[in-house]
Amino acid sequence: MKSKQTRNRFGFPDLGIGVGLRTAHYGHVLEQRPAVDWFEIISENFLGTHGRPGWVLEQAAERYPVVMHGVSLSIGSTDPLDFDYLKQLKELALRVRAPWLSDHLCWTGVAGRNLHDLLPLPYTEECLRHVVRRVRTVQDFLERPIALENPSTYVEFQSSSMSEWEFLARVAEEADCALLLDVNNVYVSSFNHGFDAGQYVDAIPHERVVQYHLAGHTNHGTHIIDSHNGRVIDEVWRLYERSLSLSGGRSTLLEWDEDIPSFEELHTEALRARAWLERARGKARRVHVRN
Amino acid sequence: MSATSLVGLERWFQAEVLRPHVRTKRAPVAAARHLTSSRSLGAAERIAIYQRGYMLRLQECLQSDFPAVRRIAGEPRFEVLVRAYLERHPSRHWSLNPLGQDFARFLEREAPRGPRSGLLAGLAQLEWAMQEVFEAPPAPALAQDALQRIAPADWARRRLVPIAALRLVACEQRCNAIASAVRRDEPLPPLGRKRTWVVVYRKDWTVWRMDLDALQFELLSALCRGRTLAQALAAAARLHRGPQAALQRRIQAACASFVSEGLFQAVR
């Protein structure tokens, strides 16, 4: 029987419930100073720019913990790593005192191109070795562990020799990196590929999970697109609860990036996670005391 | 390179995602050779999700950066222009921010000619200037009385250093008025030829556009090119017709306006 983890192995703080820092809410965040636990930024939106977003970020980082979440690390690409990009990531992380940085287990382009999409990887031994090597290099350069997120995918490769969850777990173990478990993406991919989402969640090394993502999606009948709009559906909340029963609770973020509602509506949806988090933490404390 | 090696697979996958959007002589490799089907979709239908997503995402970015170009071109033509642009100028940067940096030049020199091609290029130039100004580094502005404190004997050799968040745009049409009307969802001004000049700048984190006349534009351009005050005044004076006193008033008003709007950061 899997034992419940109550702390992540990296000592990253449990920040509570966060939301994304989005342009539409800049004014509200600065003027109203809402009682939100933390913010997540899309790292690329604040690299190499000197305009108002950078100033807003500075103001926000003075009052709230700010975690960095990237989309261009392209950790699985066979193009060389971009060390200019990594240098800027590192500098930004120092400036905002980011508790951790994350990106996706994917690639975004080869031959110098960027398709600006989270492209899927074949789950092969060759790819595993390649990704592990690059994660270690990135972590050495950044001088800290990174968290990799499971992206939603719409294809599977004939050459894959293992499941996505086995691949993810092995990357995390062999590269000694953290995980950002996107529970909505587990659900979306399970629908698209016909696997058991519960089996996926159970197989994750939860001591490496430092953060959760929750989000809405768009169901087209034949497939689901990870559209990051709308509320979190019940099945995803149940997967979240299942994962919490194994991790004991972690920093949780609601992603809502399309058809963005008011800040109040966004935060209210995020706070639905509180009930499950408190239950998981309460159970974790009771287990700890009993042992 | 083996087709099933990681390098081979990634190159194949990328080529397939781009296939509907580029001209290629390469024969397609059936998606089913490398991808599985799901219970609902075949391999080709599954990769089509990425094919559609690629163009939609980049189109959205350019729609956001060039709303006036989109409005004047119309949706079908804008889509054609964007597709042609992305084929010739694909993204090679980790950020989407610079995606449109060559769009104005593309419209001017490379795009298929059509109605109001010149206007589209001018609007793109203006709208990209707004993006550049938005992203530029901040700098403290010159004090309001900075020019008055320059000793008369020093005027000839002093230079004004512009802020980084400043761009000058000269158009053959009413580009600034058109851009404003589009953004406010108001009726468009006449689209015919009329030479106009605009300074795009940032003040207090807000991007502004200010119409200039030819003399003001020439004066400001010369100053931004690093000319001395004397050289810039001489360049502007060549465009003046009328009494010297009127020229002096125009120059003084222009300089006062430039300083009060924070267009300069230093006197050298």
In chain B, residues with a C-beta closer than 8 Å to the C-beta of A159 are 4, 9, 34
The structure's pTM equals: 0.93
pLDDT of residue A106: 98
Q: How far is CA B216 from the centre of its chain?
A: 21
Q: Which residue of B has its CA nearest to A109?
A: B14
The answer to whether the Cα torsion of B60, B62, B63, B65 is positive or negative is positive
Computed from CA positions of residues B26, B30, B34, B39, in that sequence, does the dihedral angle turn out positive or negative?
positive
Give the pair of three-digit tokens for residue A193. 């590929």
pLDDT at A284 over 70: no
Reduced 3-state DSSP string for A183-231: HHHHHHHHHHHCCCHHHHHHHCCHHHEEEEEEECCEECCCCEECCCCCC
Q: Which residues of A232-258 are buried (b: 16+ CB within 10 A; e: fewer)?
A: beeebbbbbbbbbbbbbbbbbbbbbee
Residues of chain B found within 8 Å of residue A155, distances taken between Cβ atoms: 35-36, 43, 46-47, 49-50
Residues on chain A touching B94 (C-beta within 8 angstroms): 44, 47, 72, 74, 82, 85, 108, 114
Please compute the mean of the pLDDT values over residues A17-46 and round it to a whole number. 96
> Does residue A71 have a pLDDT over 60?
yes
**Mind telling me how many Å the CA of A139 is from chain B's nearest CA?**
19
Residues of B in contact with A221 (CB under 8 A): 40
Asked if A87 is an interface residue toward chain B (Cβ–Cβ < 8 A), one would say: no
Q: Is B86 helix (H, G, I), strand (E, B) or coil?
A: helix
Residue B159 token pair: 């230079």
Q: Please answer whether residues B196 and B169 qualify as being in contact, where contact means their C-beta atoms are separated by less than 8 angstroms.
A: no
Res. A220 pLDDT band, cuts 50 70 90: very high
pLDDT by residue (tens digit) across A152-208? 999 999 999 999 999 999 999 999 999 999 999 999 999 999 999 999 999 999 999
CB atoms within 10 A of CB A189: 25
Contacts 24+ apart (CB under 8 A), B147-153: B147/B255, B147/B256, B147/B259, B147/B267, B150/B229, B150/B267
Instruction: Indicate which of B95, B101, B135 best probes the interface with A, i.e. most A CBs within 10 Å of its own CB.
Output: B95
Residues B13, A119: C-beta atoms closer than 8 Å: yes
Which residue of A lies nearest to B139 if distances are taken between CA atoms?
A50
Contact A113 B6 (CB under 8 A): no
Q: B265: helix, coil or strand?
A: strand
- Pair B121, B149: CB distance under 8 Å: no
Of A106, A117, A44, give the one whose Cα is nearest residue B53: A117
> Which residues contact residue A114 at a Cβ distance below 8 angstroms, ignoring those fewer than 6 apart?
A72, A74, A108, B91, B92, B93, B94
For residue A228, what pLDDT band results from cuts at 50, 70 and 90? very high
Given a cut of 70, whether residue A139 has pLDDT beyond it is yes
Mean pLDDT, residues A242-263: 94
Q: How far is CA A280 from the centre of its chain?
A: 20
Rounded-to-integer distance, Cα B257 and Cα B262, Å: 9
| pLDDT of A288 higher than 60 | no
Closest alpha carbon within chain B to A115: B54
Other C-beta atoms within 10 Å of B237: how many? Answer: 16
pLDDT of residue A287: 59
Confidence band, pLDDT 50/70/90 cuts, at residue A5 = low
CA distance A214 to chain B (A): 22
Query: Is some CB atom of chain B closer than 8 A to the CB atom of A119?
Result: yes
* B136 chain-A contacts, CB cut-off 8 A: 50-51
pLDDT by 10s per residue, chain B, length 268: 676 899 999 999 999 999 999 888 777 788 999 999 999 999 999 999 999 999 999 999 999 999 999 999 999 999 999 999 999 999 999 999 999 999 999 999 999 999 999 999 999 999 999 999 999 999 999 998 888 888 888 888 999 999 999 999 999 999 999 999 999 999 999 999 999 999 999 998 999 999 999 999 999 999 999 999 999 999 999 999 999 999 999 999 999 999 999 999 999 9
User: B244-260 vs B229-237: helix axis angle to the nearest 10?
Assistant: 130
- A77 at interface of B, judged by CB pairs closer than 8 A: yes
Cβ contacts (< 8 Å) between A126 and chain B: which residues? 5-6
Task: Give the span between the Cα atoms of A177 and A169, in whole angstroms.
Answer: 10
Q: Is A124 on the interface with B (CB under 8 A)?
A: yes
What pLDDT, on a 0 to 100 scale, did the predictor assign at position B57? 95
Cβ-defined contact of B17 to A222 (cutoff 8 Å): no
Residue with tokens 């004066």: B219
- Determine the pLDDT at residue A6: 67
Min Cα distance A154 → chain B (Å) is 6
Mean pLDDT of A270-276: 92
pLDDT band at A290 (very low <50, low <70, confident <90, very high): very low
Residues 230-269 of A with CB under 8 A from B: none
| pLDDT band per the 50, 70, 90 thresholds, residue A291 | very low
Q: How much is the pLDDT for B9?
A: 97
